[in-house]
Amino acid sequence: MPATRSVTPSTLALALFFLAPPAAAQILERPPTTAPTIMSDATPPVVTTTGIPAGVQVSWQPVTGAVGYTLCRETPPGSTTCTALTASQLPATTLKYYDVFLPPGGMHAYRVTAWRADQHHGTAAPVTGQAGDVTKPHDFRVLHDSSSAATPVLVIGWTPPTYYKATGEQVKVTTFRLSGTGLSAPQVVNATSYRVPLGSGDHQWQVTAMIPNPAGGWYESANPEYLSFKALVKYRLVALGFKVLQEATDPPIDLNGVFNEVYAAAAVTVTTTAFASPSTYSVRSATFGELGNNAKQFPPGRVRAGTAGRNGGLTSGDLVPAGLNLLGATAPITGTTTDPKATAPTSSSAFPMLIWEGRLPATGMVVIHPTLWEEDPDHSFHSEWVRRVGQWGTAGYAGLNFDQGVITRLRDNAQVGPGIQGSSVFGCQDDLLIPAQWPMCLANGQDRPLGLTGDPRGIAFWFDRVLVLTPASIEAALRGVGTRPGTSPGTIVVPLLDTGKEAKASYELYLRVERLP
């Protein structure tokens, strides 16, 4: 039997020491399973730049968690100093900044910073941008051509470009620099149009846009916008005189019992551009023919011009002015004003009588209603005719194309001259010019127009003669297109035939178009 080993108290204590854990291990915690959170910077934004007139537009993509953005500019790029462009953070919804009023073409670098609420941030690397040029005006054109005026002028105009304010608002340029023909020095113009004198020779203008520089002066378009204009030829239309084929009967309203007396008259409408607002006026000569007698005295100013009676009334075969040669005077196409063949100086009341003179652009036209009037003391018929023809001209430009074959289309009894087709029209209307049938009923007065009546019942219903002149039609007439044998090129024969039951007459009115030096 094995020997029994005794255990002493000290031995027991030592054994318990090695078998039990230390007392300190019972108060230690388990080591952490994750690392503690460390605060970091925000993600830098993605930045792009675009040149705008005298400025740079800086754009960036939104950064998740950003509450705002700031940016600064390095000028030139790579500078050690970056100038802050925002006094405070831009809202998180703002993703653009307009850096404006910079010298065009200048290079700049931009740093955009995204900020979080905890003030941590991320700054993008510098992105370079170049300030754009000042945009030049566009659609530079002639707005109005007053070529037919005594002092011709042009109104030239343009469409303004735009530029940006710091807020991103796009506004129109309001100041421009204009130079060119007729301007002694460049003009600063605070408008989008300008009146310039129209002289001889070719014309050219240039215009630039000007953006204000807050530091003083202007930023200006590097390249101007140009406009060229070819000088217009100057034309003139005169009434040379008339011939009596059959003298007019006196108006039934006022038979004065003496020989015939006639004056020339025309209503004129001028426009420089198709469908533009026209100008209208009328001309009238002195009265030629009967001077009066003891039974009937007429107002002063009449011109003895006929062969009938001792007071020179008009009768069949008379030519006014006497001896007029339709093959004589010609338009001074290449000659000077001293050319012996040139038309004599014109008058406002005697023959040759000036009807219209001026420069006419390709899109311009002159509408003329030429006629002769048998005169008695009251002129109310003529006044009403002038008023209504003016209405025709003003409204007619809105409704018809006057550019088609106007110099050889007036026909009356196989007689050809310039103008719109002139077939007889009966009734209280005129459909030669305006399809809307403007009324032409004249109910009172004593003068009457010759060649406007076609109603066999009397003189109450008239139609009107219309001549339409354009540069093309005038040049055709000067080449002899539509000219009647026995007349020189440019001569227009206007037949005036009355076929009414009581009002009969047959006259020819002679006009001439000329090209002036």
Residue 52: pLDDT band (50, 70, 90) is very high
Residue 407 phi/psi, 5-degree rounding, is -90, -20
Burial 213-249, CB ≥16 within 10 A → b, else e: eeeeeebbbeebbebebeebebbbbbbbbbbbeebbb
Contacts of 193 (CB under 8 A, 6+ apart): 143, 155, 156, 157, 158
Confidence of residue 505 (pLDDT cuts 50, 70, 90): confident
86-143 pLDDT, tens digit per residue, is 989 999 999 999 999 999 999 999 999 999 998 889 999 999 999 999 999 999 998 8
Residue 194 burial class via C-beta count within 10 angstroms: exposed 0-12, middle 13-18, buried 19 and up:
buried
What is the C-alpha separation between 144 and 284, in angstroms, rounded? 28
Report the pLDDT value the prediction gives residue 412, as an integer from 0 to 100: 31
Q: Which residues pair with 218 in a beta bridge?
A: 212
* Residues facing 96 on adjacent strands: 59
Q: Where in the chain is the domain with CATH 2.60.40.10?
A: 47-130, 138-229
Query: Cα(53)–Cα(226) distance, rounded to whole angstroms?
Result: 20
CATH dotted code for 47-130: 2.60.40.10
For residues 211 and 20, the model is more confident at 211
Q: Would you tell me how many other CB atoms lie within 10 Å of the CB of residue 500?
A: 21
pLDDT digits (tens, 9 = 90+) for 4-41: 444 444 443 444 334 444 444 343 344 445 444 444 67
pLDDT of 458 above 90: no
The average pLDDT across 79-85 equals 91
Mean pLDDT across 484-505: 80
Place of tokens 């409408």: 269
The whole-number pLDDT of residue 45 equals 93
Which two three-digit tokens encode residue 399? 């409704």
404-457 pLDDT, tens digit each: 433 333 323 222 333 333 333 222 333 333 333 333 333 344 677 787 655 544
Q: What is the pLDDT of residue 423?
A: 32
* CATH for the 138-229 domain, from 3.90.1150.10, 3.40.640.10, 2.60.40.10, 3.40.50.1000: 2.60.40.10
